[in-house]
Structure 1
């Protein structure tokens, strides 16, 4: 991949250069000292991937991500020190279209191959995603017994945290369905994302644990690097298979498991994200007679996954983000939150 580095600290930029030097399959094409310079560099020479720091002078990584995704979109991986402390900023950057986040490798503490392993693993995963081609695989699903309560199954990737926050903000506490979410995010950041989404939701937001049940008025979020699935008609769990998925957890695997056990009432929703994960699974749900929604291009931070769904007619409706919550409320007969005075 052709890669750009954005970091105002010389030692951190040098650490990333050394890591990239270990992988001849990747090429460093430019380095920027802050977000503003990165925006200009990206317009002149757009790389396949940008390794973006968060905290920088003049323009931080969040604003730089927003501008790059609007003007010259490409894959962005947040690479920054002390990610746990900056979790809110990580989610904000992902809301603008960044794909994932990883700690900055350090110089002089370990063998470069060891310290750079996590960064290279993330880069290679994104390289597969960027080069992903539709393999023509078809997911299959068999109807079984319906869950005892309505379900909203949501998949999201780049740009997803902000999109999820907007939807949850506009749903009432007494929402009559369970909501289960698969968001492409490293398992390390899932607890922080739960806390962050909880600040935007009238309903409780929790990490999905093995054996959890989907209960109306609650939001469950996939919380490990294994795939979240329905193992029975309402009971969730995790599985390591299939092992060949680019993303773990996979939205397609999740939607397909929903299709196996649920005959309704069910709504599938596919939000902003790069690639096509979730499109075939959404088509499975629509083929089984369920209502499905894809986010539209104008409001998607990255119009990849919902575009793939729209292209194969997997979505009953293609909606702007600000209409999805009201559509869910309409379909399930609930009232939206009262206007704040």
Structure 2
């Protein structure tokens, strides 16, 4: 179902969807009120959601859908508008799974790339089971207990004991990453003793808004990484759009314009490999939900260097692609559901300090 108030954009989205044989248009509506009325009748597998709607906006519409009839939602937003960016990131907090750029005219040079991205996200998200869930940010109130596993979730795999105190945490995700990062980092204390380097696959135009949003929902200080900065404990350094984030031998942030790795820039594999070279056994790597295989080879380098490594378990991953690739390579010292990753990180720090 398409939710878009602009007739021109709605027709363009319908045209884009019609080109993909794996997608069928269930409905196209011009307001949040119409979407809430139609959703029970057409029962769509996935929703393309505009944010700037008349009456009930896309954020409130997302909230109501997730409360009344949880359905995968892909936000289609104007990347250049600051207010739209903030609302889009709050829609992720309300339960939307992904954000993509609003399509441009068919004559624009970026049209095919944006159209392909929209269809890809709609196809992937249509397969994601969603449930009613508490708002992101509640992790601060009650940190998850490591023992509290949900039904059907296997016991965590055994990890090699930490013998050295970790000095840097590297985390990466793709599809489904923003809510996962909010949950993971939201469960870490404000005085977390490590710097955090973060790679999220997302359109370059959204990265500043993503970092600002994440900064508002987790205790740590979050910002876009800058060239030559020495990472500080308790700070999260987000890879900027379309540049690789790495750590130099001197321990400084380096941003690279090198070619994409596995189709990705920034690349999780390049980040993890730089941590393996610089920190060795004092690195800590976490690979979360995402489509594809980026990060798996780099996490293996960290694992072989003696670093602690974690891949998200299939039971909590929105898309079990990147962590699954790490598991196949035996790159993950632990494979854990999302709720258990922060407690494992904190326990590893305590064990390292007492070793």
Aligned in 2, Cα 1:64/1:310: closer, same or farther, shift over 3 Å? farther
Name the structure 1 match of 2:332: 315
Aligned in 2, Cα 1:255/1:62: closer, same or farther, shift over 3 Å? farther
Name the structure 1 match of 2:138: none
Name the structure 2 match of 1:228: 245
Measure, in 1, the Cα distance between the counterparts of 2:5 and 2:269: 38
Residue by residue over 1:134-166, the C-alpha shift from the partner in whole angstroms, topping out at 9 and shown as x without a partner, is: xxxxxxxxxxxxxx9700000012221122112
Name the structure 1 match of 2:100: 101
Measure, in 2, the Cα distance between the counterparts of 1:219 and 1:55: 30
Structure 2: which 5+ runs fail to align? 30-34, 125-164
Structure 1 stretches of 4+ with a deviation exceeding 4 A read: 17-21, 24-28, 34-43, 55-59, 61-66, 92-97, 125-131
Name the structure 2 match of 1:255: 272
Q: CA contact under 8 A between 1:55 and 1:61: conserved in structure 2? A: no
* Structure 1 counterpart SS, 2:281: coil
Of the three residues 9, 21, 25, the one matched with 1:30 is: 25
Of the three residues 278, 289, 293, the one matched with 2:310 is: 293
Q: CA contact under 8 A between 2:100 and 2:117: conserved in structure 1? A: no
Farther off after superposition, 32-41 or 262-271: 32-41
Measure, in 2, the Cα distance between the counterparts of 1:31 and 1:245: 34
Name the structure 1 match of 2:114: 122
Name the structure 1 match of 2:107: 113
TM-score by length of 2: 0.70
Farther off after superposition, 32-41 or 255-264: 32-41
* Structure 2 counterpart SS, 1:297: coil
Measure, in 2, the Cα distance between the counterparts of 1:264 and 1:77: 39
Q: What is the Cα deviation at residue 331 of structure 1?
A: 0.9
* Structure 2 counterpart SS, 1:113: coil
Measure, in 1, the Cα distance between the counterparts of 2:298 and 2:177: 18
Measure, in 2, the Cα distance between the counterparts of 1:201 and 1:265: 24
Q: CA contact under 8 A between 1:226 and 1:248: conserved in structure 2? A: yes
Q: CA contact under 8 A between 1:272 and 1:305: conserved in structure 2? A: yes
Structure 1: which 5+ runs fail to align? 70-75, 106-110, 132-147, 335-341
Aligned in 2, Cα 1:272/1:200: closer, same or farther, shift over 3 Å? same
Residue by residue over 1:9-64, the C-alpha shift from the partner in whole angstroms, topping out at 9 and shown as x without a partner, is: 4322113345678xx78786325225565784644xx8xxx754345669835776
Calculate the aligned-residue CA RMSD, in Å: 3.5
Name the structure 2 match of 1:7: 4
Where do residues 53-64 of structure 1 align in structure 2 (5 Å cutoff)?
A: 53-54=50-51, 60=61
Measure, in 2, the Cα distance between the counterparts of 1:63 and 1:303: 27
Measure, in 2, the Cα distance between the counterparts of 1:77 and 1:228: 26
Measure, in 2, the Cα distance between the counterparts of 1:248 and 1:61: 30
Name the structure 2 match of 1:72: none
Name the structure 1 match of 2:180: 163
Q: CA contact under 8 A between 2:77 and 2:88: conserved in structure 1? A: no
Number of aligned pairs? 295
Residue by residue over 1:294-336, the C-alpha shift from the partner in whole angstroms, topping out at 9 and shown as x without a partner, is: 12222222222222222332211111222211111111129xx
Matched, 1:173 2:190: yes
